[in-house]
């Protein structure tokens, strides 16, 4: 895509961001089905399904501690009814959990979880919500209230998101089953138990109990229950025509990621770049980098200025990187969006050996330039090869789509012609009977 195209997209992106912020700050959209709101808390996992067991944790035990704490806190208020899907360590299907919520006529089902990633490199809290209207709007507002106190604790926020399966319905079963019964739902992942930056937040039972209290206060905030134990009348009408989906499933990697050399301090091993990156669908949350041309990468780092609750991040910043002595780095940076999809930057090959005084001769300069050109040429060819493959797949998809569309049109025309001929035949038969 050209810069001109991105500039054309910019007003749309800004407009969408402003709409999202309005949804965050708007009065509550959901009306209760009952005289008092009914909240169902679902401790994730149970029985043989232990959940994550990384870092000496057992998730089913963690979620139960947090859920009981949350239940105890909310039970203090007569202005709502609160239930737990289960209090015993037992197997319970997602369908059974949603059915329980339906049987008590729940206004919202909240599924509590703790997270872990396959490569043990992700960190932060996130919330998953339904894709479909109006549940998306209701659940988004509650999820926003959940994540605010986690952010205040110092937990990195990965965002409020939706995910779809290959059938185009909600990926997560508890959300899918709840939506089928017309119940808004939220999955709350408090933090990653297998990553050092998050592990400190769930290291003790006291931490897990406090999570439950924070979750309860988030629900009270969403319900509008004030200090006088009365529910504020702050409902705002919402319609499909006026409301937009607050978030959606982003299946594409970031649109832009590039690095531009700015300066270098050879003696102290500091290399500086100007980083430019953007994701016009879901924003940026992480970056990592390589100094050996992509063979190995650093741990994930928070993207500068990333605030997934407000939908903002820095699209341009100065990045300083420390280079080990005696090495001549080949630098790549990767930008990650809310759905952990990344885009690689261009390759920068340094012509210098850091931490080492060099004798500059014309022969050395020519040799360094030759190596640099060769490395950059090879990297460019690899990227062009990847782009060519993506382009071929794209055009195959377009051609197949055209053929499928043509097939549907042909089928529709054939059907219409058949209907027309049958009507004509019936009319002709009717005329013959009248003539007799």
Question: Going from the N-terminus, what domains does the chain have, and what CATH number goes with each?
Answer: 25-223 (3.40.630.40), 256-358 (2.60.40.650)
> In the chain, which stretches have pLDDT less than 70?
1-27, 226-247, 356-408, 411-416, 418-436
Between the alpha carbon of residue 97 and those of residues 43, 62, 65, 218, the distances in Å are 10, 18, 18, 22
Gap between the Cα atoms of 278 and 250, Å rounded = 14
Task: Compute, in degrees rounded to 10, the torsion defined by CA atoms 150, 151, 154, 155.
Answer: 60
10 Å CB burial of residue 415 (0-12, 13-18, 19+) is exposed
- pLDDT digits 0-9 by tens, 85-95: 999 999 999 99
* Residues written for the chain: 436
Q: Which residue has the tokens 């027309």?
A: 420
Picking from 297, 92, 118, the residue whose alpha carbon sits closest to that of residue 192 is: 118
pLDDT for res 130? 95
Picking from 128, 297, 126, 121, the residue whose alpha carbon sits closest to that of residue 197 is: 121
* Phi, psi of 71, rounded to the nearest 5 degrees: -60, -45
User: Which structure tokens are listed for 248?
Assistant: 């959606």
pLDDT for res 185? 97
pTM (2 decimals)? 0.75
How much is the CA Rg of the chain, to the nearest whole Å? Answer: 28
pLDDT for res 249? 81
DSSP 215: H
């Amino acid at each position: 895509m050209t810069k001109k195209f991105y500039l054309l997209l910019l007003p749309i992106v800004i407009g969408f961001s402003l709409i999202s912020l309005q949804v965050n700050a708007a009065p509550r959209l959901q009306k209760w089905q009952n005289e008092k709101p009914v909240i169902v808390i679902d401790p994730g996992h149970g029985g043989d399904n232990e959940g994550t067991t990384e870092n000496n944790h057992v998730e089913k035990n963690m979620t139960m501690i947090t859920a009981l704490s949350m239940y105890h806190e909310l039970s203090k208020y007569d202005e709502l009814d609160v239930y737990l899907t289960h209090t015993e360590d037992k197997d319970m299907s997602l369908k059974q959990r949603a059915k329980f919520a339906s049987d008590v006529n729940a206004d919202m089902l909240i599924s509590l979880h703790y997270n872990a990633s396959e490569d043990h490199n992700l960190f932060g809290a996130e919330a998953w919500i339904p894709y479909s209207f109006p549940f998306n709007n209701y659940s988004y507002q509650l999820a926003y209230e959940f994540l605010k106190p986690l952010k205040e604790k110092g937990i990195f926020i990965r965002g409020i998101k939706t995910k779809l399966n290959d059938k185009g319905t909600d990926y997560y079963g508890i959300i899918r089953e709840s939506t089928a019964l017309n119940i808004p739902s939220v999955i709350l992942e408090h933090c990653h138990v297998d990553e050092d930056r998050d592990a400190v937040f769930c290291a003790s039972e006291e931490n897990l109990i406090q999570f439950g209290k924070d979750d309860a206060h988030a629900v009270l905030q969403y319900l509008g229950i004030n200090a006088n134990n009365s529910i504020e009348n702050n409902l705002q009408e919402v319609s499909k025509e006026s409301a937009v989906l607050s978030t959606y499933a982003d299946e594409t990697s970031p649109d832009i990621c590039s690095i531009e050399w700015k300066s270098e301090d050879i003696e102290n091993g500091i290399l500086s770049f100007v980083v430019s990156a953007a994701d016009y669908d879901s924003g940026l949350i992480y970056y990592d980098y390589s100094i050996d041309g992509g063979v190995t990468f650093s741990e994930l780092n928070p993207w500068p200025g990333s605030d997934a609750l407000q939908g903002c991040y820095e699209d341009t910043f100065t990045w300083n990187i420390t280079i080990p002595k005696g090495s001549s780095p080949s630098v790549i940076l990767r930008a990650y969006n809310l759905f952990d999809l990344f885009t690689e930057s261009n390759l920068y090959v340094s012509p210098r050996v850091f931490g080492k005084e060099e004798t500059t001769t014309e022969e050395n300069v020519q040799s360094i330039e030759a190596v640099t050109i060769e490395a950059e040429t090879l990297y460019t060819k690899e990227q062009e090869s990847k782009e060519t493959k993506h382009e071929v797949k794209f055009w195959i998809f377009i051609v197949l789509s055209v053929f499928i569309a043509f097939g549907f049109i042909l089928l529709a025309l054939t059907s219409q012609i058949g209907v027309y001929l049958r009507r004509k035949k019936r009319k002709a038969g009717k005329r013959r009977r009248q003539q007799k």
